[in-house]
């Protein structure tokens, strides 16, 4: 019997299936509603509690989602790289002036965080010395409370902790744990305290009806609201009731009381609603829903036929187009795309027609584009082959000049041409990102050879690198730009002999390379402008910022380059990279 019914249903057209389905859904829904309505008065209290619980759940979820955002904000604050750096430097320095500067920077950074958060009343950081940096409202925290909050943060060991300090006073407390890059020392750097505007959070998330009251309590401590509509004794009695809901008679009138406990914060949400107005409103709503349901049932039957026909007819026309494309008759693509769009084109079926037409049009365009791209690819390949000719022509020209110099016994010219050729090959070929230090020194020697032809005895170049470090890997073209920089800024402005020196050493897994010169040097103000990117280099090659950026991109943010300068004594560029040995790599 069941097999026959299933087979008959499967053989029905879409039109009849939709009518049958709509009728079944509407009749089933009506029967279910009638059954619920007949038992509604017997279960009125439980239904009321469920509805109130839904309101409380939605309210608590919305509020706690905002509190989770505040918890995430405290995490962003304690993991902020600038705040971490300022607190670390604050702990390491002994200079009172430097500490004041760092605390000012901390305050400015806190202002940047607090200023964009509508639910943050104030934000403050307590460093290891007990000094307070605050942003937002400057309302202070007593010293005893600061001690308690710091202890609370220590107990939670880096996790967020909530502190309820009275009516509408909610604090998020978290400890700064030190980390540098991917290194987590988890050393205590201080404590962040965020005062939350719980009243604004509740106002945004909860839409209370007239006369109803929402109370949030942490055990006997009221979190919200600041001013209660009932006495604290009445509120505490409701919080201590065994039943989760019930009707309570208060001097203000009869109220339906319901409460839930949050699994996230452990807070209790208590909702007090006037009983009589709510009862009348629900009765009226039940009657209204019954009338609306009957009207929907009749309208559903009336429009079911029209809906099914509006779907089946355009689908049949679309199916005909699909069968034409299925036969592989691509010559008719343009003809099919110009076909009429069915009436009611804003419906899903109309959109399906237009999408199908766009797909056919796109297929035609892709066929044309593919043909054009094949022509472009061939033209690009020819241009690439032509581009390879130019460097080879330049190298061959340099070889010819070198041969003529040797024939004419011009050894200096020959040496200079050979150095230039090697330097050009090394600069053009950037397929190897990491090369051994020895090969990088060969590039430097070629560049210095050319410059010594120009400056002669004024340029004194020296390399102090052990042989066992010459297989250490280093980003290509790291040292040559620094030598070029030393010549531009140390040798060219002076008429005296300039000493340029490269020194390398390694400690454990770190390689240190320094490029030093005894030129005029740079002042502290110039160094600061150079670090901030306000100084444009005189050369046209690879800049200092490019070198630093390549080192950090290759090895990580904990590596890079530092600049040291004592005017008139020494200028040094100190490179710090991981000590890795091996052959050239393309990373």
Domains assigned to the chain: 47-201 (3.30.450), 411-578 (3.30.565.10)
Strand-strand pairing, 498-507 and 510-517: antiparallel
3-class SS letters over 63-105: HHHHHHHHHHHHHHHHCCHHHHHHHHHHHHCCCHHHHHHHHHH
Task: Work out the percent of the chain whose per-residue pLDDT is above 70.
Answer: 74
Average pLDDT, the chain: 78
Q: Mean pLDDT over residues 131-153, rounded?
A: 83
The confidence score (pLDDT) of residue 578 equals 93
Do the beta carbons of residue 133 and residue 82 sit within 8 Å? no
When pLDDT is averaged across residues 417-433 and rounded to a whole number, the result is: 68
Percentage of the chain lying above the pLDDT 90 cut: 9
Instruction: Indicate if the alpha-carbon torsion angle 468, 474, 476, 480 is positive or negative.
Output: negative
Q: CA 352 to CA 344: how far, in whole Å?
A: 12
The predicted structure's pLDDT at residue 330:
60
Which pLDDT value is given to residue 32? 79
- Six-digit token string for 26: 């509407």
Q: Which two tokens stand for residue 6?
A: 């299933």
Query: Is residue 69 scored above 80 in pLDDT?
Result: yes
Q: Residue 201 — very low, low, confident or very high, per pLDDT cuts 50/70/90?
A: confident
β-bridge pairing 434-436 and 473-475? antiparallel
pLDDT at 389 > cutoff 50:
no
Q: What is the pLDDT of residues 157-192, one digit of tens each?
A: 888 988 886 555 688 999 998 876 666 678 888 999
Residue, of 174 and 233, whose pLDDT is higher:
174
222-253 exposure pattern, b = at least 16 Cβ within 10 A, e = fewer: bbbbeeeebeeebbeebbeeeeebeeeeeeee
φ/ψ (deg, to 5) at 7 = -65, -40
Mean pLDDT of 256-275: 78
Three-state SS letters, 175-196: EEEEEECCEEEEEEEEEEEEEE
Q: CA-CA distance, 285 to 280, in Å (whole number)?
A: 9
**pLDDT higher at 277 or 148:** 148
CB 57 within 8 A of CB 206: no
- Pair 315, 323: CB distance under 8 Å: no
Question: Residue 435 is encoded by which pair of tokens?
Answer: 């090369």
Task: Catalogue the E-assigned strands of 455-569.
Answer: 459-464, 473-475, 498-507, 510-517, 560-566
φ and ψ of 566, to 5 deg: -115, 110
Pull the structure tokens for residue 48.
């009321």
Predicted local distance difference test score (pLDDT) of residue 212: 74
| pLDDT of 539 higher than 50 | no
Residue 500, pLDDT above cutoff 90: yes
Closest CA to 25 of 306, 297, 309: 297
Q: What is the structure's pLDDT at 495? A: 81
- pLDDT interval class at 295 (50, 70, 90): confident
Q: How far apart are CA 60 and CA 529, in angstroms?
A: 52
Q: What is the distance between the alpha carbons of residues 523 and 226, in angstroms, rounded to a whole number?
A: 58
């Amino acid at each position: 019997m069941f097999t026959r019914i299933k087979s008959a249903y499967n053989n029905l057209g879409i039109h009849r299936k939709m009518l049958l389905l709509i009728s079944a859904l509407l009749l089933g829904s009506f029967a279910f509603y009638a059954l619920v309505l007949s038992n509604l008065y017997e279960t009125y209290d439980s239904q009321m509690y469920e509805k109130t619980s839904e309101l409380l759940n939605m309210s608590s979820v919305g509020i706690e989602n905002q509190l989770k955002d505040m918890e995430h904000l405290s995490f962003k604050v304690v993991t902020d790289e600038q705040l971490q750096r300022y607190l670390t430097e604050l702990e390491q320095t002994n200079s009172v002036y430097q500490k004041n500067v760092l605390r000012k920077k901390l305050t400015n950074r806190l202002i940047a965080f607090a200023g964009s958060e509508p639910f943050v009343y104030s934000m403050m950081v307590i460093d290891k010395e007990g000094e307070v940096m605050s942003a937002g409202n400057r309302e202070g925290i007593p010293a005893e409370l600061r001690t308690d909050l710091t202890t609370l943060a220590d107990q939670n060991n880096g996790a967020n902790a909530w502190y309820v300090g009275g009516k509408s006073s909610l604090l998020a407390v978290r400890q700064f744990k030190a980390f540098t890059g991917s290194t987590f020392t988890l050393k205590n750097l201080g404590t962040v305290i965020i005062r939350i505007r719980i009243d604004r959070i509740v106002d945004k998330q909860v839409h209370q009806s007239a006369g109803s009251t929402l109370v949030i309590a942490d055990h006997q401590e009221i979190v919200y609201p600041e001013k209660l509509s009932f006495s604290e004794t009445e509120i505490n009695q409701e919080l201590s009731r065994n039943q989760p809901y019930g009707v309570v008679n208060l001097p203000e009138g009869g109220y339906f009381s319901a409460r839930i406990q949050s699994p996230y914060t452990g807070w209790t949400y208590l909702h007090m609603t006037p009983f009589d107005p709510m009862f009348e409103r629900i009765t009226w709503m039940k009657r209204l829903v019954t009338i609306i349901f009957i009207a929907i049932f009749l309208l559903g039957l009336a429009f079911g036929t029209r809906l099914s026909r509006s779907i089946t007819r355009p689908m049949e026309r679309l199916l005909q187009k699909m069968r034409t494309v299925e036969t592989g008759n691509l010559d008719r693509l343009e003809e099919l795309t110009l076909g009429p769009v069915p009436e009611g084109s804003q419906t899903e079926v109309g959109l399906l027609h237009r999408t199908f037409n766009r797909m056919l049009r796109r297929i035609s365009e892709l066929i044309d584009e593919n043909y054009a791209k094949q022509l472009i690819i061939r033209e690009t390949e020819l241009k690439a082959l032509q581009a390879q000719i130019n460097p080879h022509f330049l190298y061959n020209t340099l070889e010819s000049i070198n041969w003529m110099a040797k024939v004419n016994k011009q050894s200096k010219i020959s040496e200079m041409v050979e150095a230039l050729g090697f330097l050009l090959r090394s600069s053009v070929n950037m397929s190897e990102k990491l090369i051994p230090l020895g090969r990088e020194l060969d590039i430097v020697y070629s560049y210095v050879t050319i410059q010594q032809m120009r400056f002669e005895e004024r340029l004194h170049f020296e390399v102090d690198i052990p042989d066992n470090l010459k297989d250490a890997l280093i980003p290509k073209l790291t040292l040559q730009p620094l030598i070029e920089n030393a010549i531009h800024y140390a040798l060219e402005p002076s008429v005296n002999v300039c000493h340029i020196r490269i020194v390398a050493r390694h400690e454990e897994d770190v390689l240190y390379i320094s490029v030093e010169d005894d030129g005029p040097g740079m002042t502290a103000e110039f160094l600061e402008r150079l670090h901030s990117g306000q100084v444009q280099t005189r050369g046209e090659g690879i800049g200092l910022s490019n070198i630093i950026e390549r080192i950090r991109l290759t090895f990580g943010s904990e590596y890079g380059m530092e600049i040291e300068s004592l005017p008139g004594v020494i200028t040094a560029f100190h490179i710090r990279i991981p000590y890795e040995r091996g052959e050239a790599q393309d990373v």
